[in-house]
Amino acid sequence: MPPSERPTPTLASVAASAGVSVATVSKVLNGRADVGAATRARVQALLRQHDYVERRAESAGRAPAKQPTVELVFHGKLTGYSLEILRGVISAATEVGVAIAVSVRPRRQRTTGVDGTAAWVRHLAEVRRQAVIDVVDDVRQGDLTALSKAPLPLVVIDPLNLPRRQVTSVGATNFAGGLSATQHLLDLGHRRIAYMGAERASAFNQARLHGYRAALEAAGVEIPDGYIRSGSTDYDDGVAGGAALHDLHERPTAVFAATDEIAAGVVEAARVRGLRVPQDVSVVGFDDTEAARLLSPPLTTVRQPLCEMGRVALRTALRLAAGEELESHHVELATELVVRSSTAEPPS
């Protein structure tokens, strides 16, 4: 049928095609949060198919209804870890017709103060974000506290500290990852194994450290003084911490690093000292970002399903926005050891 002869679409006809009520179609058009993700996607597809929004917008002389938007918040500089999370969030959002607004908050910058944080959170509410996803790298506690108190659905990814029960979070099996990384080094024959960690008090760092300790304890291996160090998740801290480990009188033959960026710093610290990886020292990271594959030699690491964590966070945020009950307030996705060329048997 030529376009000019097609019947003019109505809310009722779109609702009938989608198998929902007219009220539900109206909610989708107006960007309301109380519609399930699958239903929203079905209705939006039919609206596009019938050219409904465009026709009504032209006849009324106004813009189409605003697309539902979820705020994705990072803290500090974006890393390979951040970009993998971003890729997962955008992928899931595209499937359901939701827009993503990305903001980057300053890292532990105290000059903005409580007023600055409160104003930022008020802005998110005023522009009617459907939900907020907070990717916690080195988040200022004030940001997380303010977000958790705001009238906005909130999902936290990889929290530094496990938030209170009513704050929903998505993470990975950090303890199991730390255990498998250390066990891999033990199986290769290493007994002098160091741990180069992130922020000492962070939940993910503690879990990875406990996995490291558990593997060594089960094998009856003691941890020498100076073999456990902490810093941030940055490459530069990996260089500094790796230098301290490599300069010990009885230096480790292997280092398990809490992130791939830290591991890259440990490798660089070894290089400038004339130590070869893995012939003189083996290195294991955590995350499996692109940097792990590009490092020379390619890095043995514990793979976090970062992209899937982003997808799960987006779907969970939309469920909260729709008023759905969650089966659990904390989701942990499985980790997996990926063996590459940065680990080998210890030097004789």
User: Mind listing the pLDDT tens digit for each residue in 56-95?
Assistant: 444 444 444 467 899 999 987 888 899 999 999 999 999 9
Residue 9 has pLDDT above 90, yes or no: no
DSSP-derived letter for residue 302 is: E
258 CB-contact burial (10 Å; exposed 0-12 / middle 13-18 / buried 19+): buried
Per-residue pLDDT at 194 exceeds 50:
yes
Residue 42 and residue 17: Cα distance in Å, rounded?
A: 10
- CATH 3.40.50.2300 residue window(s) in the chain: 69-172+305-333, 174-304
Pick the CATH number of 3-60 from 1.20.1530.20, 1.10.260.40, 3.30.160.270, 2.30.30.230: 1.10.260.40
pLDDT for position 51:
62
Q: Which CATH superfamily is 69-172+305-333 part of?
A: Response regulator (3.40.50.2300)
8 A C-beta contact, residue 54 and residue 61:
no
pLDDT at 317 over 70: yes
Please check the confidence at residue 213 and state whether its pLDDT lies above 80.
yes
If one counts every other C-beta atom within 10 angstroms of the C-beta of residue 141, the result is: 11
Averaged pLDDT for residues 30-39: 76
Mean pLDDT of 284-289: 96
Per-residue confidence (pLDDT) for residue 110, from 0 to 100: 42
| Per-residue pLDDT, 281 | 98
Write down the pLDDT at residue 164.
Answer: 57
The topology under which CATH files domain 174-304 is Rossmann fold (3.40.50)
Q: Is the per-residue pLDDT at 160 higher than 80?
A: no
Residue 248 CB partners (closer than 8 Å, separation 6+) = 226, 227
